[in-house]
Structure 1
Amino acid sequence: MSFDELSKEQQVMVTMRKVLTTIIREITPQPGEKYPLSEQTVEDVRLCLTLITARERELAEAHGITNLARPYYTDEVPTTQTVPFDQIQRPKKEH
């Protein structure tokens, strides 16, 4: 489903989540540097992201959409392998 096909509320949730995570990435300091946000602000951002995720899930379920996708690392070895149907061969029957 594309962004334009989402309801206005779903678009708001997606945009808020993306903006918050982008801000977090941009302000994350290099190792050894002090984090610029207070602990309370970090907790508030976590709470916001949790609420956004929960509402996105509720909206998706209300529309009959189940999201089984899970985040993964780009260098992670896949646990499944896709095989095109034209490459599947039936075992030969023995007479």
Structure 2
Amino acid sequence: MSEESAKEREILMVMRKVLAAIVKDTAPEHKALQHPLSEQTIQDIRACFGLITAREKELAELAGRIATERPYFTDEAPAATTVSISSIGRIEGQKEK
């Protein structure tokens, strides 16, 4: 990845975080309350997220990476399981020689 595309990726990431923070900070506490942002502003923010996502995908493809980066929760179960090397090759119930 070139220095220029790395910088662009960093800018896109910061823009995504700032937009998400604005949405979070302006969201009403209860669904019964009206959102302080106009419907047009909300649509514009969604369009910005879409453009950011599209450009991030393009940069990933140009770099030869599959664009599978997705957010995850820290308490989410990992996709892979770690196995101890010492447990490999031993059948349960079999004694070591």
The verdict on a shared fold, with TM-score over 0.5 as the criterion, is yes
Q: Secondary structure at the match of 1:7?
A: helix
- The number of equivalent residue pairs is 89
TM-score normalised to structure 2 length: 0.72
Rg larger in structure:
2
Structure 1 unpaired stretches of 5+: none
Q: CA deviation at 1:90?
A: 2.5
Please list the CA deviations of residues 62-83 of structure 1 after superposition, one character each: whole Å capped at 9, or x if unmatched.
Answer: 111224243344555x374512
Q: Kindly, what percent of the aligned residue pairs are identical? A: 41
For 2:27, the equivalent position in structure 1 comes to 28
Q: TM-score, normalised by structure 1?
A: 0.73
Root-mean-square deviation (CA, aligned residues, Å) is 2.7
**Mapping for residues 1-95 of structure 1, pairs under 5 Å:** 7-31=6-30, 32-74=32-74, 78=77, 80=79, 82-86=81-85, 88-90=87-89, 92=91
- The whole-number CA distance in structure 2 between the counterparts of 1:88 and 1:64 is 36
Gap runs ≥5 in structure 2: 92-97
